A and B are shown apart, each in its own frame.
Chain A
Amino acid sequence: MGQILQLTLEHLCLSAAGVLVAGLVGVPLGILLVRARALAGPVMSLVDVLQTIPSLAMLALVMFFLGLGNNSLIAALFVYALLPILRNTYTGLAGVSPDLLEAGKGMGMTGWQLLRQVQLPIALPIILAGFRVAMVTAIGIATIGTLIGAGGLGEPIWRGIQLANTFMIMTGAVPAALLAIIADVLLGGLEKALVPRGLRAKNI
């Protein structure tokens, strides 16, 4: 039991680390792309293409450059988490109604103020939805990290499959599934809570 808990924690850590790095890159990049929309298409397509690389192959390729272990897994998770975060940041910000921006400008806001006080708060739920998708994806992909010597819940699943040991499979599969479901629900809740009050009624 203690071991399962430890693996679960490790799994959560690794997934969250990948998503976090993707957030640190994806959100600023999304903000940048809204200002340079000509670049948005090419950048988005590039990230789209990266996304279509099967995770198994991605791990093998990343390992060639970064070696064994957690860092390689985190790097692979970063790639898959980047797309939903980047896309949602971009569409969230680009979708802010021009009227609101005009109103802000009319009030004498600078570009930075507009971003911080108008665009980001309105886009926040959409950005968070991106994080939610990224997190669930990362938790899923992290299960194959054990192939390149990373920790987490993949270990008992693989070993269980090899040994045809259903119980061992379940000690990894059940917590992994629960982790993903809980992350989904929690981040979904946060998403709702962060909708600016003025926009809530419209959402029904």
Chain B
Amino acid sequence: MKRKGLLLIATLLTAVSLIVAGCAGENAKSAGGKIVVGSKNFNENIILGEMLAQLIEAKTDLQVERKLNLGGTLVCFNALKNGDLDLYPDYTGTGLMAILKQPVETDPDKVYNYVQEQYNKKFKLKWLKPFGFNNTYAIAVPRETAEKYNLEKVSDLVPLAGNMVFGAEQEFFNRPDGYDGLVKTYGLKFKNTKSFETALKYQATAQGKIDVTDAFSTDGELITYDLKILEDDKKFFPPYFCTAVVRMDTLEKYPELEDTLNMLAGQISDEEMQQLNYQVAEKGRDAKEVVREFLENKGII
């Protein structure tokens, strides 16, 4: 009995020490000169997170830790506020409505100035200069459907909606600039709604599980799945700038960081962003490689 007890204790101790040793490699956090870059859990945001990370690595002596593909705005913003992240790319409209809980606003400059002011004051966070592209929501249908019913604008859906299923990621159903506002503005009554993980809604259209979906205007999948964007004729969706949101204390500590990251200001057009998304999401290329290629072609690194 004694020997068995000893054996057990020895096993436990070995297990503990192995685990401590094995997991210890992770805990090198916040050693001097390290920037933690985050991103949300969809393709474009992951690519942009990777881009910011590579830019810092190429232009400064700072080390970068990547925490990409985190569980949504909630996780990212909270981590940024608490200092677990130093920066992540976000969209001004998301800041306005999801974080600051303000009503929809369609003037992009107004939105940018408002979130800048509020973020500075309330959270000690700073929005850098926008990357250039405007990633707004768009309503998309398979091209076949569009041709069959001669669809051009979102308003054209009104008489058909009763027989159509609308699908989107969960987020769209919970944003003021999302589903509820859309159907109200246009007077749409869809037969049913379905929600999916962001990337899966496109597969759902291909499988005929949904007839209409929301898209980001820069999604690469629009190309592959041959979807047609319907014109937002009632101007419901606000335009959004995307840029890095950074902790102010990080910017103070590493003054070179702001200028470095602002090298991306105005550098990515709608088409370029869509191409980047397409290369990764649809061509299956490695995001790291696609990003490096882009930065090199632009002469940024």
Kindly provide the distance from the CB of A73 to the nearest chain B CB, expressed in whole angstroms: 11
Cα-based distance from A47 to B54 in the complex (angstroms): 45
Q: Are B69 and A67 in contact (CB under 8 A)?
A: no
Q: Are B197 and A63 in contact (CB under 8 A)?
A: no
Interface check A146, CB cutoff 8 A: yes
Decide yes or no: A149 and B79 within 8 Å by CB, A162-B42, A163-B43 being known contacts: yes
Q: Are A151 and B26 in contact (CB under 8 A)?
A: yes
Interface check B199, CB cutoff 8 A: yes
Q: What total of chain B residues lie within 8 Å of the partner, measured CB to CB?
A: 34
Interface check B198, CB cutoff 8 A: yes
Q: Are A13 and B23 in contact (CB under 8 A)?
A: yes
Within 8 A of B (CB), among A143-183: 146-149, 151, 155, 158-159, 161-165
Q: Are B199 and A14 in contact (CB under 8 A)?
A: no
Kindly provide the distance from the CB of A106 to the nearest chain B CB, expressed in whole angstroms: 19
Kindly provide the distance from the CB of A12 to the nearest chain B CB, expressed in whole angstroms: 8
Partner of B71, one of A67, A147, A163: A147
Interface check A126, CB cutoff 8 A: no
Q: Are A17 and B23 in contact (CB under 8 A)?
A: yes
Q: Are A164 and B199 in contact (CB under 8 A)?
A: yes
In the complex, which residues of chain A have a beta carbon less than 8 angstroms from the beta carbon of B4? 121, 194
Kindly provide the distance from the CB of A69 to the nearest chain B CB, expressed in whole angstroms: 7
Interface check A20, CB cutoff 8 A: yes
In the complex, which residues of chain A have a beta carbon less than 8 angstroms from the beta carbon of B5? 116
Residue of A nearest to B202 (CB): A164
Cα-based distance from A159 to B39 in the complex (angstroms): 13
Partner of B70, one of A14, A116, A148: A148
Q: Are A68 and B199 in contact (CB under 8 A)?
A: no
Cα-based distance from A12 to B26 in the complex (angstroms): 14
Within 8 A of A (CB), among B73-101: 74-75, 78-79, 82, 84-85
Decide yes or no: A68 and B79 within 8 Å by CB, A147-B70, A149-B84, A151-B26 being known contacts: yes
In the complex, which residues of chain A have a beta carbon less than 8 angstroms from the beta carbon of B26? 10, 69-70, 151
Residue interface bits A37-72, CB-to-B below 8 A is 1, else 0: 000000000000000000000011001100111100
Decide yes or no: A67 and B197 within 8 Å by CB, A147-B75, A158-B41, A165-B284 being known contacts: no
Kindly provide the distance from the CB of A77 to the nearest chain B CB, expressed in whole angstroms: 12
Kindly provide the distance from the CB of B153 to the nearest chain A CB, expressed in whole angstroms: 30
Q: What total of chain A residues lie within 8 Å of the partner, measured CB to CB?
A: 33
Cα-based distance from A20 to B15 in the complex (angstroms): 9
Cα-based distance from A149 to B37 in the complex (angstroms): 11
In the complex, which residues of chain B have a beta carbon less than 8 angstroms from the beta carbon of A20? 15-16, 19
Q: Are A162 and B284 in contact (CB under 8 A)?
A: no
Residue interface bits B270-292, CB-to-A below 8 A is 1, else 0: 00000000001100100000000
Partner of B199, one of A16, A64, A148, A163: A163
Within 8 A of A (CB), among B85-122: 85
Decide yes or no: A121 and B1 within 8 Å by CB, A68-B75, A148-B75, A159-B69 being known contacts: yes
Cα-based distance from A121 to B1 in the complex (angstroms): 8
Q: Are A158 and B23 in contact (CB under 8 A)?
A: no
Cα-based distance from A69 to B199 in the complex (angstroms): 24
Interface check A9, CB cutoff 8 A: yes
Residue interface bits A73-100, CB-to-B below 8 A is 1, else 0: 0000000000000000000000000000
Residue interface bits B124-151, CB-to-A below 8 A is 1, else 0: 0000000000000000000000000000
Q: Are A158 and B69 in contact (CB under 8 A)?
A: yes
In the complex, which residues of chain B have a beta carbon less than 8 angstroms from the beta carbon of A63? 75, 78-79
Q: Are B284 and A67 in contact (CB under 8 A)?
A: no
Q: Are A163 and B75 in contact (CB under 8 A)?
A: no
Q: Are A60 and B71 in contact (CB under 8 A)?
A: yes
Cα-based distance from A13 to B5 in the complex (angstroms): 24
Interface contacts beyond A16-B19, A69-B67, A148-B71: sample of 13 additional A-B pairs, CB < 8 Å, sorted by A: A9-B22, A10-B22, A17-B19, A60-B75, A63-B78, A68-B67, A68-B79, A121-B4, A147-B41, A148-B70, A162-B197, A163-B43, A164-B203
9 contacts between A and B (CB under 8 A): A14-B23, A20-B15, A63-B75, A67-B79, A147-B75, A162-B42, A162-B199, A163-B43, A163-B199
For the complex of A and B, 3 pairs with smallest distance between CB atoms: A147-B71, A68-B84, A162-B199
